[in-house]
Structure 1
């Protein structure tokens, strides 16, 4: 018979031993956990969480007070409305762009000279904002993550911020003015309910924040109020930037932090390295959070991933990068834009494939209206891209760059500028694939891979025969087309594969934009 007293004592000893063991493991794990220092050497030693490089496609959102006028010179950024209206004219301010005559004429005609940018708060109501609907659209687009402008350069926050209001001397957030709503929190919850990652854009610079020293303020536009302290940049960083940054991290746990507004001062003046060390060491989701490279003149050099906007990304396979751009020519909604300013669903699909084939992510921006709607033309573009991804997503998500990103035809390769990618007609992506100039080399195929499975995207239908160059297959290799059950015959001819597509008729091709071949057990020929 078991003595119950002895059994109880033994149980207690076992429980104590287990507790001690777990405590020891926890202490050991804690001791081994890396503490990041406020140096780029330490910060860059952190491996960017794997989810980001596998996600490939995200949605950017520019939404704020600038969504009320929703206007800029055609082809420029409408979210810069306040700066275009009241910004620097002298050319002395390193961060400034010149004032826009078009924007001032528009403002004076439609709102009046006496109407200030701050007066737009009463019209930024977001009364039709349905975060659940937005999140469902993003889900249907095939995007894996979303990034919202929680604060743009105007300093107005879409979350409750006493620092914003105290520094500007007025209600300067969406909870105390305008919508009277935590737009960041509401959208964060809805996006996560759809199973997507939620990120936040945060501008470390406020154009006209009164805490800035006079020497670093634009020479025109809103001036510092006399009753506000004038200690300068340190006051802004310590009493606005740092607290706001920590607030959005602790309150919303963003999976991505897209910093901006950094370019005119170096990282020492911005004091961003201590802030990032705090993030890596203390964020509630520190194993998930990803940062970009906009922390003070370090773009393309330091950060979790590198960014380009209205450009073409990077060609270096070793770089983790993301291209971001609007569906039109502006990030924020610009009401002057027409149908011709908006990229077609076909072009956006081509952009996605081109970017992913070169190892990048695509962050595609929308500009909602002041009343809280995603313009229907933007919804249409997102959902059409999503339809293509339903069939071809296997060749996008979780893929890596093949030995080469594309198979080029004979001809001249043209070097394009950022301006070409922003305003080119036809767009360089089309010129390099289906609408070449005379004698221009084109990308006959785009490539991605998963292990030894090669995906070959066909920008246009090649006809009955397709040659995939510098690829060798082995016994048991198969070639199929995503979205089709038809078997595809092939032959190895030297270092190339001859693919027979003669059995495919018009009703067998499921994708009007671009079709994808899945080639298993493939090996690149050097």
Structure 2
């Protein structure tokens, strides 16, 4: 009996060791961790860009308002044309309305958040149908929305929302409210501070030039002593920033707020060796209080779409046919932080956003849709409206979105030449109508999007099918197959002809329509 118990104890300990896998600070080990299942099931999340930049809430159209401080201090002699224009526009606006002597730090007194009601925000997010929320805990300006001492120490002034501005722990308040609505709460964290005194702008530019690896390795003999001294100081400044600001902040967020998701940013111009992010991620996977739940993105060093828990695109097209969770993130307008000069024509309509959501989910992705609250803590009403409209549609069609996976064919295309779109097409707009309801002459278009749950297939139609008939090709069904429309309490008749399934929608009247813009046909027992 004792021998049997000892064997059971050894097996139990071995099983525990297997379950509690230890991760090493290298990508082979870190990438071996599967993305927690809640993320690819969620499909729709809310991004929130909110901070000191929300006070001016301004930039030229088509650019990011949260880059206000960076644009003010831009060197027009080294900037490209787009950045140079943004610098000119924001500098002119700033000097006219605040004065040339008004510092970015002076916006702290006006970041009041006096109308911020986290419960109201969380209620809107719940009604939107979002399954997760991601708040900017710290953007590239380094200002923290929680009481972080490293921010204030390194900047030499109160540089968080508890010691200045609203005098509130905004991360804590929203985290608690969102979780009360049974929504996952995530945090955006910028690993890059533009102007942190520990690591100056000049040092950053020196290191981002690509010379660091060269100057400290095989061609070191070609570097002048003065340049070598400069590079050494830059590397020491980076190390001070990483170990005395970035690491402590990251660990504090994880331990204090236990975010379900960590959205890193600011990564793109320096590799992960210089950022030293792999040891930080190994610590996260091994030591986070919620280590089995937490999800990370792919922005931990130059080269996105290579490592991390899931891949990201930004005002982009997303992916197709990859065996990896992914997410497209974009604003309702063309800025993440609120841009007060954007008007109704700059905002995506309900229909456009629903088409985007269906298209992205059909290809296996998530949509992280951004809102930019005002400095007083209110969410612009047009943004609230768009979120509620999405939620109303999801109330009917959520079965075809949440927990689904990409079908072997993400869409059914019509005959014709399939259009090809560039990254610019997706960034400048999103050619969603051209690929569906408004194709160019001779081009093919998507007649429906597909999503799947095991042997149940969902066909999401962009608009109402012509002549009340939906014809689906290349599907294999059996005698147990049933066809219906989500939100309509009746089965639909169908016929099979030459391998095509023709679904009759004529029994659904206009008064039966359960939603707007996209209608979901549910087909069971698809082989």
TM-score, scaled relative to structure 1: 0.91
CA contact (8 A) 2:59 2:86 kept: no
Partner of 1:339: 344
Partner of 2:510: 506
The Cα of 1:28 is off from its aligned counterpart by 5.0
Q: Distance in 2 between matches of 1:143 and 1:31?
A: 34
1:257 maps to 2:262:
yes
- Mapping of 1:37-48 within 5 angstroms? 37-48=24-35
Q: Distance in 1 between matches of 2:288 and 2:491?
A: 50
Q: Distance in 1 between matches of 2:263 and 2:33?
A: 17
The Cα of 1:30 is off from its aligned counterpart by 3.6
Q: Which sits farther off after the overlay, 60-69 or 485-494? A: 485-494
Partner of 1:180: 167
CA contact (8 A) 2:396 2:487 kept: yes
Partner of 1:155: 142
The Cα of 1:419 is off from its aligned counterpart by 2.4
Q: Write out per-residue CA displacement over residues 9-63 of structure 1, whole angstroms, 9 at most, x where no aligned residue.
A: xxxx99xx99997898357514652110000000000011011000000000000
The Cα of 1:412 is off from its aligned counterpart by 2.4
1:369 maps to 2:374:
yes
The Cα of 1:283 is off from its aligned counterpart by 0.3
Q: Distance in 1 between matches of 2:84 and 2:192?
A: 14
Q: 1:55 aligns with which of 35, 38, 42?
A: 42
Q: Write out per-residue CA displacement over residues 385-405 of structure 1, whole angstroms, 9 at most, x where no aligned residue.
A: 000000000000000011100
1:33 maps to 2:20:
yes
The Cα of 1:468 is off from its aligned counterpart by 0.4
The Cα of 1:417 is off from its aligned counterpart by 2.2
The Cα of 1:92 is off from its aligned counterpart by 8.3
- How many residue pairs get matched? 496
Secondary structure (helix, strand or coil) at the match of 2:24 reads coil
Q: Distance in 2 between matches of 1:379 and 1:261?
A: 28
Q: Write out per-residue CA displacement over residues 71-114 of structure 1, whole angstroms, 9 at most, x where no aligned residue.
A: 01111100000011112434389xx9886100000000111100
CA contact (8 A) 1:84 1:98 kept: no
Partner of 1:440: 443
> Relative to structure 1, is the Cα distance of residues 457 and 102 closer, same or farther in structure 2, using a 3 angstrom cutoff?
same
Q: Distance in 1 between matches of 2:18 and 2:481?
A: 48
Partner of 2:213: none
Q: 2:193 aligns with which of 206, 212, 218?
A: 206
Partner of 2:221: none
Q: Write out per-residue CA displacement over residues 295-319 of structure 1, whole angstroms, 9 at most, x where no aligned residue.
A: 0013111000000010110012412
Partner of 1:493: 497
CA contact (8 A) 1:89 1:99 kept: no
**Where do 5+ consecutive residues of structure 1 fail to align?**
1-12, 220-228
Secondary structure (helix, strand or coil) at the match of 1:393 reads helix
The Cα of 1:216 is off from its aligned counterpart by 2.4
Please identify runs of 4+ aligned residues in structure 1 that moved more than 6 A.
17-24
Partner of 2:428: 423
> Relative to structure 1, is the Cα distance of residues 92 and 18 closer, same or farther in structure 2, using a 3 angstrom cutoff?
farther
Q: 1:459 aligns with which of 432, 457, 462?
A: 462
Partner of 2:209: none
> Relative to structure 1, is the Cα distance of residues 417 and 372 closer, same or farther in structure 2, using a 3 angstrom cutoff?
same
Partner of 2:403: 398
**Where do 5+ consecutive residues of structure 2 fail to align?**
207-232
